[in-house]
Amino acid sequence: MQHDKVLILDFGSQYTQLIARRVRELNIYSEIHPYNKIPTNIQEYKAVILSGSPFSVRGDEALLPDLLNIKGRKPLLGICYGAQYIAHFFGGNVSLSNSREYGRANLSFVKKDETFFNNISEGSQVWMSHADTIKKLPTNGVLLASTGDVKNAAFKIEVEKTYAIQFHPEVYHTKDGKQLLENFLVRIAKIKQDWTPDSFVEETVSALKEQLGNDKVVLGLSGGVDSTVAAILLHKSIGKNLYCIFVNNGLLRKKEFENVLAQYEGMGLNVKGVDASARFLNALAGIDDPEKKRKAIGRAFIEVFDDEAHKIKNVKWLAQGTIYPDVIESISATGGPSAIIKSHHNVGGLPDYMNLKIVEPLKALFKDEVRRVGASLKIDAEILARHPFPGPGLAIRILGDITPEKVSILQDVDAIFINGLKEWNLYDKVWQAGAILLPVNSVGVMGDERTYEKCVALRAVESTDGMTADWVNLPYEFLQKISNDIINKVKGVNRVVYDISSKPPATIEWE
């Protein structure tokens, strides 16, 4: 299937992937390429967007793309650095701004361009993030809009379909950002909106077929949305050549291993369940430092995974369900100017001696997009709605050292909480929830007996990406019922508290 394509040239902005995401939300296909690697088939792209950048067009390090075949020849939108680039190198002038230009501002039209500003009202909130400012417009520049602090906030070039904006339409805080991108891409560049999760599936499957041929691929399933969607995509592409391994590290939720394994088998996946609980719990014995726990789990995982992968002959690839937010601190997922990619794999990366090539079909997607792709693959809605669960599992929810008895107590507490959320129709309103076993014993009274038992904390947060989060205002009646159930049913617990801390300054997990 051929789609109209948009080229996003990446100058290293933290927001470049967000531009791609907004474009995809418009059902338009886009590709991100480093600013200095303009595709040779540039004629196939219907529009070009220049991203922002941490660099200055005035500095020695200014990134200088060759726009010869682009500017004036096809619709071009410069964002922030992109806008400054268009100004600075085509007859205008950019200099250091005198005032702070970060955060909220409001658009005020100088010349309302009915197409570019279609459906956008005077005063619309936009988000700024820049130190340089455009002092003089480029040759043939026409000022379109200003904000309180920024005179040249939006301009176009006469006769060309070149537009430039100092603010960031891709961030959520620019209220009409998506509308503005739609105006540029659909009304000005006349791009068809035909790129959907279905077409992502279709294209990814055919690309994976080509990339993997008859090679064998091994994939570690976690029970979570990402690895499941990655597995189904690969399964559709290479069928029985996909070997899935699902490891029980003994730190999963209650009955999770059995239930999820059965679900996977039901989906037709070639999956091997490996119960390595004892190995993990041995590796964790006596460790109470959170980072040491994570490392011990990571090492044990690699050992188990390596053992299992070796049993499959001639495996060439390791597939991972990495999604875009996992690629943290990355300026560019595509090898752009500051391509320091720190991949956050649950297992902390695999050793080089395994000698496997990596395939990551979901690397460019955000979580909600993965869910949409999952729905297009007809994956059970229950799996797609599953809350995120950390790779080290309950190990980082048992504060202090870990014993099988503590795991079992926490599994019981967690099951009552999570099942309760489902029964009360609260599960889908919460982004992530779980229970934490505190290293605290407190006095209680049960019957006529004095008890001295454990305390658990319940945590439920709302979030969009886990980067920031707030606690959820769960109904008191619900908390009352769950607290009663936990204390009455779970031996060894006599006190329940609810965590009312936001992130920041707290984190979602307690360790």
> Is the Cβ of residue 388 or residue 444 nearer to ligand XMP in the bound state?
388
Nearest CA to 253 out of 379, 402, 371, 390 is that of 390
Cβ burial of 191 (10 Å; 0-12, 13-18, 19+) is buried
Q: Which of residues 489-508 bind ligand XMP (CB under 6 A)?
A: 503, 507-508
Which of 168, 182, 369, 453 is an active site residue? 168
Q: What is the 3-state secondary structure (H, E, C) of 221-276?
A: ECCCHHHHHHHHHHHHHHHHHEEEEEEECCCCCCCHHHHHHHHHHHCCCCEEEEEC
Q: How far is the CB of 308 from ligand XMP (least distance, A)?
A: 20
> Is the Cβ of residue 115 or residue 507 nearer to ligand XMP in the bound state?
507
How many C-beta neighbours within 10 Å does residue 228 have?
A: 27
Q: Which region among 120-128, 169-177, 313-321, 390-398 touches ligand XMP (by CB under 6 A)?
A: 390-398
Q: How far is the CB of 508 from ligand XMP (least distance, A)?
A: 3
361: contact with ligand XMP by CB under 6 A: no
Q: How many residues bind ligand XMP (CB under 6 A)?
A: 12
Q: Which of residues 444-483 bind ligand XMP (CB under 6 A)?
A: 466
Identify whether 170 is a catalytic site residue: yes
Q: Are 49 and 7 in contact (CB under 8 A)?
A: yes
Among 32, 391, 414, 495, binds ligand XMP (CB under 6 A): 391
Peptide bond into 65 cis (omega under 30): no
> Is the Cβ of residue 250 or residue 392 nearer to ligand XMP in the bound state?
392
- The two tokens of residue 34 are 């480093």
388: contact with ligand XMP by CB under 6 A: yes
> Is the Cβ of residue 282 or residue 464 nearer to ligand XMP in the bound state?
464
Among 390, 413, 459, 483, binds ligand XMP (CB under 6 A): 390
> Is the Cβ of residue 230 or residue 508 nearer to ligand XMP in the bound state?
508
Q: Which of residues 258-287 bind ligand XMP (CB under 6 A)?
A: none
> Is the Cβ of residue 169 or residue 220 nearer to ligand XMP in the bound state?
220
Which of 3, 33, 80, 360 is an active site residue? 80
Q: How far is the CB of 172 from ligand XMP (least distance, A)?
A: 19
Cβ burial of 140 (10 Å; 0-12, 13-18, 19+) is middle
Among 124, 346, 411, 483, binds ligand XMP (CB under 6 A): 346
Question: What are the residues facing 78 on neighbouring strands?
Answer: 50, 164
Alpha-carbon distances of 144 from 44, 56, 110, 153, rounded to whole Å: 29, 23, 5, 8
Q: Helices marked H in 80-175 — which ranges?
A: 81-88
34: three-class secondary structure by DSSP: strand
Which of 3, 101, 130, 170 is an active site residue? 170
Spatial separation of the C-alpha atoms in residues 204 and 29, rounded to whole Å = 13
294: contact with ligand XMP by CB under 6 A: yes
Identify whether 168 is a catalytic site residue: yes
Q: How far is the CB of 423 from ligand XMP (least distance, A)?
A: 23
Among 166, 228, 411, 432, binds ligand XMP (CB under 6 A): 432
Q: How far is the CB of 503 from ligand XMP (least distance, A)?
A: 5
Nearest CA to 356 out of 249, 268, 243, 247 is that of 243
Residues 6+ apart with CB under 8 A from 224: 321, 386, 388, 389
Spatial separation of the C-alpha atoms in residues 58 and 85, rounded to whole Å = 9
Alpha-carbon distances of 86 from 79, 460, 495, rounded to whole Å: 10, 47, 63
Among 229, 392, 456, 471, binds ligand XMP (CB under 6 A): 392
Q: Which region among 24-32, 46-54, 107-115, 388-396 touches ligand XMP (by CB under 6 A)?
A: 388-396
Q: Are 244 and 219 in contact (CB under 8 A)?
A: yes
Identify whether 80 is a catalytic site residue: yes
Question: What residues are annotated to the active site?
Answer: 80, 168, 170
> Under the rule (CB under 6 A), what is the footprint of ligand XMP?
294, 346, 388, 390-392, 432, 466, 503, 507-509
